[in-house]
Structure 1
Amino acid sequence: MRLFHFAAPQNFYGMAGRVAPWSAALAVLLACAGLWLGFWVAPTDAQQGEVYRIIFIHVPAAWMSMLVYLAMAFWSIIGLAFNTRLSFVMSQALAPTGALFCVIALWTGALWGRPTWGAYWVWDARLTSQLLLLFLYLGHIALTRAIDDPRRADRTGALVALVGAVNVPVIYFSVNWWNTLHQGASVSLTRAPSMATTMLLGMLALTLAAWFYTIAVTLWRARSLVLERERHAGWVQQKLDARLAAASVDRRVEDIQGVRS
């Protein structure tokens, strides 16, 4: 029942405001630790040399681009099943961050592919399906912004998220299903990792940093969407009045200090 308590926009708004700064702080700390491990502590790769270090940015971004889309699909299912407006808000708040990770994964993959494959881009199964994922993100964002009716926008975006979720397992298993240039997974739940411990720790730290970054910016973005949708609600008006009153007091204090100086 405690979880349903936060389904109310007013309760969610306050909770998100408390959680987001802590998530952002953890993201910064983990990112610093992961970058230090990946770029200064981890050993040089015997085959690829120093260029392999782009893996510490590329792999977490690729993982998050898929996981964020699955999270969008999850919230879409909840929204369609229970008709909860906040679920659609969460799905739409996740989309720009997922698109960002998708762009980072594609660009770092291109920079990594040039010295290893001899080309920035090939129509490889994984690269092509990853590019399709970016188009799905952009399509979701464009549709939900273009439709004026919030209810129609919510349901249309939810359908795009659900249909596009089929592409995520295609991305993940593409190296196993087709003969591709892209290497297989270096980290797996079914076997020991094929990398040094410091490499693995650096990658996991940056992955967790990406997780907490996603939580922080999604909650901040969701708070803005909630205020936009609930702008006529009484609790929103109370918060706006309180902020205006606080701003008025600050201006008076500044004026008094200016006169005294």
Structure 2
Amino acid sequence: MAFELPAVTPARAKTGLAILALTLLLAALVAAFVVAPTEREMGDVQRIFYFHVASAWTAFLAFFVVFLASIAYLRTKTPRWDIVAASAAEIGIVFTTLTLISGSVWARSAWGTWWTWEPRLTTTLMLWLIYVSYLILREMVEEPDRRAAFAAVFGIIGFVDVPIVFMSIRWWRTLHPQVVGSEGFDMEATMLPALFLSVIAFTVVFLHILILRAGLERSRHEMMELRRRARWIQEGGG
């Protein structure tokens, strides 16, 4: 099939998004460590909560992009959607890793242990394993069209674990605190600005990294296509 490349993002747009991401990250750090009040029971360790939630949100967003891009690929067979899905999966794994690490630090202070097999932690670890397996699958299949198709199906099915992770604290008895309850946010109102700012900052960082990673993958595909054509010409095809 004809190879279609995703549109190139203008350099100024990339620079502007990078500046915005850095500015928001710095603002989130100030909000979390300076502006937000100290939690009564956990003290300053609680401040990692803002980035823990933001990391989890960003991981969910990344895997949702994988889900949508995978559907788009199966409908259109357009390689740019496969590029977006693969790039988002890699970023999602990074943010899931940050979620697990920050959660362990928080758990050590709150529960006295780095890890416990409670529902939210277990399903999050499963999510990490699912998308690591997604990337392994991509490496195992060499033929581009088959790789993209298999990965798309896997990416769609794997997304099922995202709502399971989110709903786990409602479906099962768990030690994990519930950020959003039936009556709204289960935290002091003075802490909400730091939380919202962290989520927004991490979202912009995700978008910036996604654009950069997809651009690199696009360039790699373009180089592979040029090499394929060069071999075809050398073998007498042209």
**Normalised TM-score (structure 2):** 0.87
- The one-letter code of the counterpart of 2:5 is P
Question: How big is the alpha-carbon RMSD for the aligned residues of Structure 1 and Structure 2?
Answer: 1.8
The separation in 1 between residues aligned to 2:219 and 2:38, in whole angstroms, is 49
Q: 8 Å contact 1:44–1:50 — kept in the other structure? A: yes
CA deviation vs aligned residue, 1:129-183 (integer Å, no higher than 9, x gap): 1001111121111221232211111111111111111101110000000001111
The separation in 2 between residues aligned to 1:197 and 1:41, in whole angstroms, is 12
Q: Spell out the pairing of 1:59-208 with structure 2 (5 A cutoff).
A: 59-185=53-179, 187=180, 191-208=183-200
Larger radius of gyration: 1
Note closer, same or farther for the CA distance 1:165–1:8 as it changes in structure 2 (3 Å cut).
same
Q: 8 Å contact 2:178–2:186 — kept in the other structure? A: no
> What's the CA shift for 1:25?
1.4
Q: 8 Å contact 2:4–2:79 — kept in the other structure? A: no
- For structure 1, the 5+ residue unaligned runs are 1-6, 234-261
Q: Which residue is 1:22 aligned to? A: 16
The separation in 2 between residues aligned to 1:208 and 1:26, in whole angstroms, is 11
CA deviation vs aligned residue, 1:187-211 (integer Å, no higher than 9, x gap): 46x6443333442111111211111
- For structure 2, the 5+ residue unaligned runs are 227-238
Counting matched residue pairs gives 223
The separation in 1 between residues aligned to 2:185 and 2:169, in whole angstroms, is 17
**Normalised TM-score (structure 1):** 0.80
Aligned with 1:214 (options 206, 209, 212): 206
Tell me which moved more, 215-224 or 172-181: 215-224
Q: Which residue is 2:234 aligned to? A: none
Q: 8 Å contact 2:53–2:99 — kept in the other structure? A: yes
- The one-letter code of the counterpart of 1:64 is T
The separation in 1 between residues aligned to 2:205 and 2:22, in whole angstroms, is 8
Q: 8 Å contact 1:20–1:215 — kept in the other structure? A: no
Q: 8 Å contact 2:107–2:115 — kept in the other structure? A: yes
Calculate percent identity across the aligned residue pairs. Answer: 29
> What's the CA shift for 1:17?
4.2
The separation in 2 between residues aligned to 1:20 and 1:133, in whole angstroms, is 30
Note closer, same or farther for the CA distance 1:108–1:147 as it changes in structure 2 (3 Å cut).
same
Q: Which residue is 1:9 aligned to? A: 5
> What's the CA shift for 1:8?
5.3
Note closer, same or farther for the CA distance 1:8–1:147 as it changes in structure 2 (3 Å cut).
closer
Q: Which residue is 1:39 aligned to? A: 33
